[in-house]
Structure 1
Amino acid sequence: MLIDRTYAKVHLDNLLYNYNQAKKKVGKKTKVLAVVKADAYGHGSVKCAKHLEINGCENFAVASLTEAIELRENGITKDILIFGRTRVENYIYLSKYDLIQTVYSLEYAEALNQCKQKIRYHINIDTGMSRFGLYLHAPRDLMPVINEIKAIKKLPNLKYEGIYTHFANSDEADREFCDNQYKLFQLLIDEMNHLNIETGIKHVANSGAIVSHPDKYLDMVRFGIGLYGYPHDRMPIDLKPVMEVYSHVTSTRYIKKDDTVSYGRLYSPEENEKIATIAIGYADGYNRLLTNKDYLVYQNKKLPVIGRVCMDAIMVKVEEVDLKDGEEVEIFGFNKPLEYMCKLLNTIPYEILCNVSKRVPRLYD
């Protein structure tokens, strides 16, 4: 693979390590579903899914039909659940590629049924996320949901396999809302059992709940950001970051007092300084809001980012190191935690990882 400027290292052994940590945590009775949507959160869905599948993973999840088809056409054979809505004109591919579609309403299920092909599905229940799913925000909503499930399960071309909900704040210290969501979901399951309605695979726990809510594992858990080594806060589980990002020095130069750096002239040195231009910018996923805030690492030394982030380049101060053209610097990784950038941007690891652009080649080990 040609590496000319910025690149990402993806450690597949760490990916598998994190997956096995989740398996160990939830125990043998609970399945672990690997979430590989959004190109495995920027890590490369095909490579990651292949490595997990050959090491025993039997359940994957994606956001869209195209993501699922990409996995199938690259040799992934195990179950793939699609979280998002598949368009009417594409229903045939759900059957062709043996995929599991999420159903959000009776109306949507009836449309799927018109495809006249056997389609596997899970039902999504909205217990408080208010995003999609059958509306169950209070006990009074129970019977309308039960009636809708009954109607969905009668559709002859659909094969029911499971049911799930999604927690809104399972990673937060305050458990009340998450506990209430779980009680509503369990109320539904209890009523289904009472009425002899098959429940299939039941799953509610995401990465945060795997650690913080061990009472909510049920039949399967969905391991997303934890699979890639995050989050670390309040997580009594050992996870290893899977991705590191590096770039190279384009040039070095000396600037004088009162010179200015980059667009908008937002940085000016108080005395003569040596600076370097680094071959990464917002087109690579390095956020423009890191202007004059972040730092890079070279030989355990911090290189402060100065001036506005450009599309293809950033500038750093290099007064304390002998940095030459072509040398490598760390954007984030083992010597500079991704969480530092998250704090600067008031965001979460998901966003930064997903934003590492396609033009940044991934090197797998």
Structure 2
Amino acid sequence: MNFVNRSWVEIDLKQLRKNLSIYKVELKDSISVMAVVKANAYGHGDVEVAKVLQEEGVKHFAVSNIIEAINLRNNGIVGDILILGYTPVNQSKNLKKYGITQAILSNEYAKQLANQNIKIKVQFAIDTGMNRIGLSSENVASTVNIIRSYSNVFNIKGLFTHLCVADCEQQKEFTNIQIDRFKRVVNEVSDLNLSYVHCLNSAGGLWHEKYGNICRLGIILYGCKPDYSNKLPRGIKPCIKWKSVISMVKKVKKGETIGYGRSYEAPNDRLIATISTGYADGYNRLLSNIGAVYIKDCKCPIVGRICMDQFMVDVTNCPNVSLGDEVELLNEKYNADEMANEIGTIGYEVLCNISERVSRIYKR
């Protein structure tokens, strides 16, 4: 059984295609899209999303780990797959077997991989100021020497860096600094004729210098913003709706309390509906007494704390509500960015937290 009418998301694959098409207009013809499909394609379903993008001509995919990479290969994804994170060195055989490209996170990591004596495809990460992964861009000569020392050990496919504030207009100067640092490293290894050079992420591809020949397109592909303050190109919209159902409707008298901790007290007689979704489904507990859902186009506030499998909403002002009615947790009016903004997080987290027990339904 793959679908239970309890809690599910509907993914609009036509909108996914449209988002890709609109975004590509912003890029130079010489820049290809690398679709970031890690974390189950930000909750949308990595295999289904990657298949659609492959049909649209996307030839490059980025994932977090080797499990995600092999899963794509085993499900018909034939393009380049880059693992952005750590892979245990004892998995080098599988990197080779499945034709997967591994990011080199540090010189120490490169040494450990080299000791496996398996010539795998790699791309070197360059740290230009995020201080997360990569060879330092501060001492260009040292970094270049390290890269060159592995030219016969690995099949070096490219270099990349990550722009950590590309979504922030106020920090544009630092993004420019990062790009300049990256350029200096790239220029010093131009004779290696690397296939791929990339620094652009979703935000970088829209609002910064179009440097390199790859853009790693992530959150905007799915129709959400890198930062809540950002304005996306016209026509790019969220691909996902999250739905649930009402499992119970009851009258609550003035002064009665609702849920764990009795955190909500009815100011007067209210009509309360229980919704069949909870934090075990990835519905954030911080939405307790803050968030809202839509039932029959009525906005209904959450009352009480989010439970593991259920939560309650006030439907007093929503007419003719009954058991089994459909509930929209995410929709056009209240998307992942709006939800995230209410609880002080980001749309990425809202989407990635949608758990595996929430069914994925694809609209083609």
Normalising by structure 1, we get a TM-score of 0.95
The residue number in structure 1 matching 2:241 is 244
How do 1:133-282 and structure 2 match up within 5 A?
A: 133-136=134-137, 138=138, 141-155=139-153, 158-174=154-170, 175-193=172-190, 196-213=191-208, 215-231=209-225, 233-282=230-279
Q: Is the 8 A contact 1:31 1:221 kept in 2?
A: yes
Q: Deviations over 1:128-164 (max 9, x none)?
A: 010010011x3xx111111111112232xx1011101
Root mean square deviation, CA, Å: 1.3
What is the identity, as a one-letter code, of the residue corresponding to 1:314?
A: F
Q: CA 1:171 to 1:11, structure 2 compared with 1: closer, same or farther past 3 Å? A: same
Structure 1 residues 162 and 12 mapped into 2: Cα distance closer, same or farther (>3 Å)? same
Aligned residues: 357
Q: Is the 8 A contact 1:204 1:216 kept in 2?
A: no
- Aligned to 1:46, what secondary structure does the other structure show? helix
Larger mean CA deviation between 231-240 and 337-346 belongs to 231-240
User: 1:199 deviation in Å?
Assistant: 3.6
**Partner amino acid for 1:43?**
H
Q: CA deviation at 1:15?
A: 1.1
Asked if residue 306 in structure 1 is aligned to residue 306 in structure 2, the reply is: no
| Equivalent residue, structure 2, for 1:57 | 58
In structure 2, the residue matched to 1:129 is: 130
Matched, 1:82 2:79: no
Amino acid at match of 1:22: Y
Distance 2:143 2:118 in 1: 25
Cα distance, 1:108 vs structure 2: 2.1
- SS class of match (2:341): helix
Deviations 1:22-69 (A, max 9, x none): 222113211100000000001100010011112211110101001000
- In 2, distance between residues paired with 1:237 and 1:203? 25
Aligned mates of 1:49, 1:198 — CA distance in 2 = 28
The match for 2:22 is 21
Q: Residues 30 and 237 of structure 1: is their aligned pair in 2 closer, same or farther, counting only changes over 3 Å?
A: farther
Secondary structure of the 2:145 match is helix
- 3-state SS of 2:306 partner: coil
The alpha-carbon deviation at position 13 of structure 1 amounts to 1.1
Contact 2:197–2:212 (Cα < 8 Å) also in 1: yes
- Shift of residue 105, structure 1, vs aligned partner: 2.7
Letter in 1 for 2:346: I
Residue deviations 1:326-355, cap 9 Å, x none?
000110112323222111111111000000
Identity of aligned residues (%): 38
Corresponding position of 2:45: 44
Change (3 A) 1:4 1:300: closer
1:201-222: CA deviation from partner (whole Å, max 9, x where unpaired): 1100000111111x23421100
Q: Contact 1:105/1:148 (CA < 8 Å) preserved in 2?
A: no
**Cα separation, 2, equivalents of 1:290 and 1:359:** 20
Q: CA deviation at 1:121?
A: 0.8
Contact 1:60 1:79 in 2 (8 A): yes
Distance (Å, rounded) in 2 between the aligned partners of 1:42 and 1:35: 12
Report how far residue 112 of structure 1 moved. Answer: 2.0
SS class of match (2:294):
strand
Q: Quote how far apart the aligned CAs of 1:237 are.
A: 4.9
Tell me the SS of whatever aligns to 2:155. strand
8 Å Cα contact 2:159-2:186 kept in structure 1: no
CA distance in 2, matches of 1:307, 1:362: 28
User: Cα distance, 1:70 vs. partner?
Assistant: 0.5
Q: Structure 2 vs 1, CA of residues 305 and 222 (structure 1 numbering), >3 Å: closer, same or farther? A: same
Distance 1:159 1:89 in 2: 18
Unaligned runs of 5+ in 1: none
Partner of 1:359: 357
What CA deviation, in whole Å up to 9, does each residue of 1:178-230 have, x standing for no partner? 1100011111122223xx343431100000111111x2342110000011001
Instruction: Note if contact 1:252-1:275 (Cα within 8 Å) is conserved in structure 2.
Output: yes
**Structure 2, unaligned runs of 5 or more:** none
2:325 to 317, 324, 327: 327
Q: Name 1:119's counterpart in structure 2.
A: 120
Give the Cα separation in 2 of the matches to 1:105 and 1:335.
44
**Which residue number corresponds to residue 342 of structure 1?**
340
- Contact 2:224 2:337 (C-alpha < 8 Å) held by counterparts: no
* Bigger mean CA deviation after superposition, 300-309 or 13-22: 13-22
